[in-house]
Structure 1
């Protein structure tokens, strides 16, 4: 009787693992670039349509509503229709749209309104933004699904 061949019993060698930061670097980079683009667009909109002291911050409200609607369309397209590259979602969804929508400015706007003696305007803005943004993302996703279903042969 012969001894078993130990070479054939060994598990195949695994390639060396990359450090975690190396595999995440492209994602961080595309989020940063997309975020810069989205934040720049939001800033340009705020310069074009500035809020008056004590006035309703319409530019921020519509930025958030439009951004949420685009997120609704985008998520349906990349999950139901298009097998997107692994960097598309971090770039556009997290980066561009995350930089474009601005819930931090929304919170600061509310604080400025309340501190400036306009608590009712601040409360109206608080409620309107949440309701409009959630409605926008829901309607955009539902409409996109309906259009895609209607267009199928």
Structure 2
């Protein structure tokens, strides 16, 4: 697959900003709510889903062609770097291994269901898909 250099730069720039934002928001929420549950990762993933919904609702979903520079910067780079399935998965596994089965299952269910709801809310707030 051929990717234009400008698209790669947009994804890299967005990814850097998204990753730094994830660290700041995740740490801030964890400091505020405590480290007994992965609140920081949950807040990041739910806010990322809401932001993705707002973006998709405002500009529409990309087609099968190469991503537009704005989509590459915001959706693929920024929000791709901001949200984190790997941290979510690791923290769920740690809860499970600590014998906190209910917390592990709650983390999965809340992340998936509330994430999908946040995405839908974002699309709705942005006026729907165009």
The one of 86, 94, 111 equivalent to 1:112 is 94
5+ residue gaps, structure 2, are: 62-66
Give the number of aligned pairs: 121
1:33 and 2:18 aligned: no
Listed as ranges, the matches of 1:61-80 within 5 Å are: 61-79=42-60
Q: Counterpart of 1:49 in 2: which secondary structure? A: helix
Cα distance in 2, alignment partners of residues 123 and 136 from structure 1:
19
- Offset at 1:78? 1.5
5+ residue gaps, structure 1, are: 1-19, 147-153
Give the alignment's Cα RMSD to 1 decimal.
2.2
Partner of 2:23: 43
- Offset at 1:90? 0.4
TM-score using structure 1 length:
0.72
TM-score using structure 2 length:
0.83
- Offset at 1:79? 2.6
Partner of 2:37: 56
- Offset at 1:94? 0.6
Q: Which has the larger radius of gyration?
A: 1
1:138 and 2:124 aligned: no
Partner of 1:15: none
